[in-house]
Chain A
Amino acid sequence: MTTQPTPNYTDEQQLITALIAGDDRAFCEIISRFQYIMVSIARAICGETFADDVVQDSWVAIHKNIGKFEHRSSLKTWVITIVSNEAKARLRRESRKISLDELDGEIPGSYLDGANFKPDGHWQSATPLWTCESPEELLEETQLQYCINKTLNILPPAQKAAFILREIEQESFEVICEALQVSAANVRVLVHRARLTLMQMIDRYQETGSC
């Protein structure tokens, strides 16, 4: 294992060429970039139990097959497809079915909880006030960054994967639907629920200064 500094692989073609040449630094680079997304996808498809195994199998498949990468998609989309297929295959082998409900539980007390609304459909009580509403100021809060990452990690797996793929990675609905085996409408619902959970955390953060 090399101890030389990692080159800055900003150019994808340069990165792929290094990967095909067997450069360990390039492989560490894609592990750093994609491990988080891969774990999220694996958990969303086959649950916590098999996710780590699936991700490791996927990395082995990627290492073996990088020479066959045909540039039909971006490297990230290719990696997403591999982990998604590995997770689906694992689920079939285990003869298990995991319902979306299992991976996307409704969180009691969420903004969409019926208890928050009067019978006529209006808010039961006023929506919370924020003492700081400036995104620029909030972006500087280190504690808020910690809270956002903590909250993302406790989201139901399907919500977290949909949120990461759509909001952070800006993947297309086509790729997300194929990877997670859900409809575009489902992806939108999952992202909405994830945003609302994060918003509730920010409500608490505004009130108490912690998550």
Chain B
Amino acid sequence: MLKCKEVAHLASEYIDNNTTAKITWQMRLHLITCANCRRFIKHLRTTKLLAVKLAKSGDVDAEAILRKIKERI
């Protein structure tokens, strides 16, 4: 039986469907019995979704950068 600490380490592999069949089964078994880890995995899935959708590159002053490049060519 996996411990919560192992679940925390394997969590991203699990939500990315990158765990072996054996580990996936062990994770599911653990999650059936552990509310803390269920919440942890649920929140990690939400975090993944939010971070990808909300992260933005920030403002870039492209013209200023281009001016500097041209000074060097």
Contact = CB atoms under 8 A, between A and B. Distances in A.
Contact of B58 (A112, A135, A149, A199): A149
A139 B56 contact: no
B73 interface: yes
A117 to B, nearest CB: 4
Contacts of A198: 47, 50-51
Contact of B8 (A64, A111, A145): A111
B55 interface: yes
State which size class the interface on A falls in: 35 or more
Contacts of B36: 123, 126-127
A27 B5 CA distance: 48
A139 B68 contact: no
Contact of B60 (A35, A145, A164, A202): A35
Main secondary structure of the interface of A (DSSP, over half): helix
Contacts of A192: 9, 11-13
Interface string A1-45: 100000000000000000000001001110111011100000000
A195 B5 contact: no
Interface residues of B, number: 42
Interface in A139-157: 139, 144-145, 148-149, 152
A32 B62 contact: yes
B73 A133 contact: no
Interface of B: 3-6, 8-9, 11-13, 16, 18, 36-37, 39-40, 42-44, 46-58, 60, 62-63, 65-70, 72-73
30 contacts: A1-B63, A24-B66, A28-B62, A28-B63, A31-B65, A31-B66, A32-B62, A35-B62, A37-B57, A56-B69, A56-B72, A60-B69, A60-B73, A63-B69, A111-B8, A117-B4, A121-B6, A123-B4, A127-B39, A128-B39, A148-B54, A149-B58, A167-B48, A168-B52, A168-B55, A192-B9, A199-B43, A202-B43, A202-B47, A202-B50
